[in-house]
């Protein structure tokens, strides 16, 4: 069954790749991000639709979901993908960047869930993009790991609360994206540059999301971890 799929952070990286994969599979994709020019170009290319979205704003997410319902009449799947990763040592006290990660990576996910749950009828599917950082901690990534563990925990709690709602956590390893572009600390940026040499294409994550979405309504793929073979 082809589904109406909403994707946050769809202007680049995993969000863009997922939109391409799902559109190619016949799903109706509704794209959201702040960079509307990129959304416009992508939607024109793959045959989807779009609306501006700031995931840190509850009102913006609500408007995004409402626009999708107005266009397609329903929502089947939300892919909560938007995220930021300005890694830094805790001792650097980049507190504004800590706040930004909490606002986007945690509150953004909650805003999406809050906006979409009332729009689901008999069933629905929330796909939250976390990270292998939800399962490990490393220097410079303490806050980022904390936000991604929160995504995992929120997803598991949401899953347990409903017999009809499907909830999937996608935990990517090192993947080609613009995430590392948000790093402002030279030490962390240098470390990440070396770490990302084994990155896999973002389409690999899109394929994992497509697999989870394609399962029968009675089957809930709870979590998929996708990482490069060379990543330890």
Positions marked catalytic: 144
Among 98, 160, 151, 105, residue whose Cα is nearest residue 127 = 151
Among 81, 74, 111, residue whose Cα is nearest residue 8 = 81
Instruction: Give the CB-side neighbour count of residue 98, counting CA atoms within 13 A.
Output: 11
Q: Per the structure block, which two tokens stand in for 29?
A: 């994709």
Tell me how far apart the alpha carbons of residues 206 and 174 are, in angstroms, rounded to a whole number: 14
- Helices 203-214 and 13-24 pack at an angle, to 10 degrees, of 50
């Amino acid at each position: 069954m082809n589904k109406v799929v909403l994707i946050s952070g769809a202007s680049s990286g995993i969000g863009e790749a997922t939109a391409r994969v799902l559109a190619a599979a016949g799903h109706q994709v509704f794209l959201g991000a702040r960079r509307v020019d990129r959304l416009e170009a992508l939607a024109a290319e793959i045959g989807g639709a779009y609306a501006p979205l700031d995931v840190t704003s509850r009102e913006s997410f609500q408007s995004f979901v409402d626009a999708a319902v107005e266009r397609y009449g329903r929502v089947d799947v939300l892919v909560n993908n938007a995220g930021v990763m300005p890694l830094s040592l805790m001792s650097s006290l980049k507190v504004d960047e800590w706040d930004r990660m909490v606002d986007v990576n945690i509150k953004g996910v909650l805003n999406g869930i809050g906006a979409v749950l009332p729009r689901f009828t008999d069933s629905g599917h929330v796909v939250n993009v976390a990270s292998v950082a939800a399962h490990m901690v490393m220097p410079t990534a303490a806050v980022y790991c904390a936000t991604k563990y929160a995504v995992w925990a929120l997803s598991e709690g949401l899953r347990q609360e409903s017999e009809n709602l499907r909830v999937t956590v996608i935990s990517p390893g090192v993947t080609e994206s613009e995430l590392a572009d948000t790093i402002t600390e030279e030490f962390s940026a240098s470390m990440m540059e070396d770490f990302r040499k084994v990155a896999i294409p973002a389409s690999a994550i899109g394929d994992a999301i497509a697999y989870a979405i394609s399962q029968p309504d009675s089957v809930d793929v709870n979590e998929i971890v996708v990482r490069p073979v060379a990543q330890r």
